[in-house]
Amino acid sequence: MKPKNIIEKLWDEHVVYQESGKPDLLYIDLHLVHEVTSPQAFEGLRLKDRSVRRPDLTFATMDHNVPTVNRTVINDEVAKTQMTRLDKNCKEFGIELADIHHPDQGIVHVIGPELGLTQPGKTIVCGDSHTSTHGAFGALAFGIGTSEVEHVLATQTLWQSKPKTLQIEVTGKLGFGVTAKDLILGIIAKFGVGSGAGHVIEFTGEAIRNLTMEERMTVCNMSIEAGAKAGIISPDETTFDYLKGKRHVPDGDQFQTAVEKWKSFASDDGASYDKTLQINGSEIEPQVTWGTNPSMGISISSHVPSPDQSTKKSEQEAIQRALAYMGLEGGEKIDEVPIDFVFIGSCTNSRLSDLRAAAEVVKGRKVKDSVTALVVPGSQSVKNQAEEEGLHKIFLDAGFEWRESGCSMCLAMNDDIVPPGKRCASTSNRNFEGRQGNGSRTHLVSPAMAAAAAIEGRFTDVREMMTVVH
C-alpha cells in the first residue's frame, strides 16, 4: 500500500460521504464550544427547532471574556449576557459546561488536553482559530466559524474540501534557552504568514520529536499564524505518556488498545506531501516580533528592520506602516527597546511548563518599576498546580500580578487591556494592531523572554540571565 501521511489517514478515516464535485462530508469527534462564537449558532438551532445531535461529543467552557481578578463581579453587562446565555444554551441542549466557577474552567485549548478530551486520531473543531493547538496530539483540529458551529451542533459533521499537505521538517536540536515559541516564531519569520495557506502542516524532524507535549501545543497553536488550516504532529510515546491517566482517556487494558490504534495514525515512513519546507532548529535564537503580523519577527540579537531593507515598494510600505504603528524608528537594536507591560498567558503559553520557565527567570528578582506584569494561568487546574509548587509566590514577590484563568490580555475582551501607545511583551500569538487594546503595541515572545523583559524593563536575551543561574 502507498505510504500515507497522518493528515491523509485521518481524513480518510472520517469521511461519511463522498461524491465527486462536492466537498467531503466529514465526521467530527469532538466539538469544543465557548461563549463568544456560539450564541448565534444556538439561536439558529432554536429558530429551526433543531436539536444537538451529539451532546456527548460536545464540551463547553467560558474563557474569552471572563474576568481574571474577581470572578464574582462582572462589570461588563454584555459579557455577562454572553456567559448567562451559554449557561442557558448548555442546559437547554444537554451539553456539559465548565462555567466560570467550575474547577475545570480554562482556555478551551488548554483544558481539552488537560481533561484528555483531546486524543490522537480525533477530528476536533471549535469556533476559534487556535483549535490547531490540539493537533499536537495527532488530532485533525481546526477552527470554524459560527455557521459551522451550528452545522456541527445539528449534524456532527462538516462539508470540507480535502486540504493540501505541507511538511515542515525541523532538523537539529534547539539551542540552550531556545523554546518551542522561538521555534514557531522563527518558522513564521522565515516562511511568512501565507506559507501554510490552503494546507495542513505536519511538523516533523528531530527537534519536533524532542519537544514535550506542552511545547508541541505551542508549535501547533501558531500554525494558523503561518496561514495553515491546522498543524499536526504524529503521536508517539511522548503523546501516550502525557495522556495516560487523564480523565477522559480509557484506562487499564483499554488504554493499551487505544495506544495501538493511535500508533497506526502516525505518518508512514516514506509518506509524501504536496510541499515540504525545512529549517534547522539549531540555528534559531530567541525571537521577538517587532511589527504587526507574526512574521515580522527577528532574533533578540538583531536590529529592527528599516523600510530601505526591502526593494519592493509594497514591502517598504508594509514595514513603514508597521513601524509607525509600533512607535519604532527602524534600525534600532531590539534589546534596547523599553517595554511597559508583560503578559504571560494565552493558549500559546499558559501551561504549567510555561509558568515554570518564567518563574525560573523571575526567582529572586524584581519586576522593573515602570512595568506592569501579569501572569494569567491557562486554566484553574494549571493555577492550582502552580500554587502547589509555590510559583505564584515567586511571581507575586517579584511584583507580578497573579490572576484567575482565561484569555485575558491575549485579546483584551475583558478588563485586561494594554492602553494606547503602550508596549507589551506578550507570550500570546497575535500582534495585530489593537489586539491587546486599541493602540496597543504587542511584541510576541516566549515565557522566559517575557519574564526577562519584565525584570529588565526592555527586551533582553534571557540566555544571559540563565547562565547566571546555571
Task: By CB under 8 A, tell whether 320 contacts other proteins.
Answer: no
**74 lines the binding site for ligand SF4 (CB under 6 A):** no
Query: Phi and psi dihedrals of 362, rounded to 5?
Result: -75, -30
Q: Is 346 in the site for ligand SF4 (CB under 6 A)?
A: yes
When binding is defined by CB under 6 A, the residue of 107, 208, 449, 465 that contacts ligand SF4 is 107
Pick the binder of other proteins from 40, 75, 254, 257 (CB under 8 A): 40
For position 223 contacting ligand SF4 by CB under 6 A, the verdict is: no
User: Is 48 an interacting residue with respect to other proteins (CB under 8 A)?
Assistant: yes
Q: How far apart are the first and last CA of the chain?
A: 51
Applying CB under 8 A, does 76 fall inside the site for other proteins? Answer: yes
Q: How far is the CB of 146 from other proteins (least distance, A)?
A: 4
461 binds ligand SF4 (CB under 6 A): no
Query: Which residues, 389 to 448, sit near other proteins by CB under 8 A?
Result: 411-413, 420, 430, 432-435, 438-439
Residues with Cβ within 8 Å of residue 345, at least 6 apart in sequence: 374, 375, 376, 377, 378, 403, 407, 408, 409, 410, 427, 428
Which region, judged by CB under 8 A, interacts with other proteins, from 138-146, 270-278, 380-388, 389-397? 138-146
Taking CB under 6 A as the criterion, the residue among 9, 122, 130, 392 binding ligand SF4 is 130
Q: Which of residues 428-457 bind ligand SF4 (CB under 6 A)?
A: 428-429
Q: Which residue number, 167 or 195, has a Cβ lying nearer to other proteins?
A: 195
Report in angstroms how near the CB of residue 202 gets to other proteins at its nearest. 17
Which of other proteins, ligand SF4, none sits in contact with 379, Cβ below 5 to 8 A by type? none
* Chain residues in the site for ligand SF4 (CB under 6 A): 63-64, 107, 109, 128, 130, 346-347, 407, 410-411, 428-429
* Chain residues in the site for other proteins (CB under 8 A): 16-17, 21-23, 25, 27, 36-37, 39-40, 43, 48, 50, 53, 65, 76, 78-79, 81-82, 85, 127-129, 143-148, 150-151, 154-157, 159, 161, 193-194, 197-198, 227, 229, 293, 314, 318, 411-413, 420, 430, 432-435, 438-439
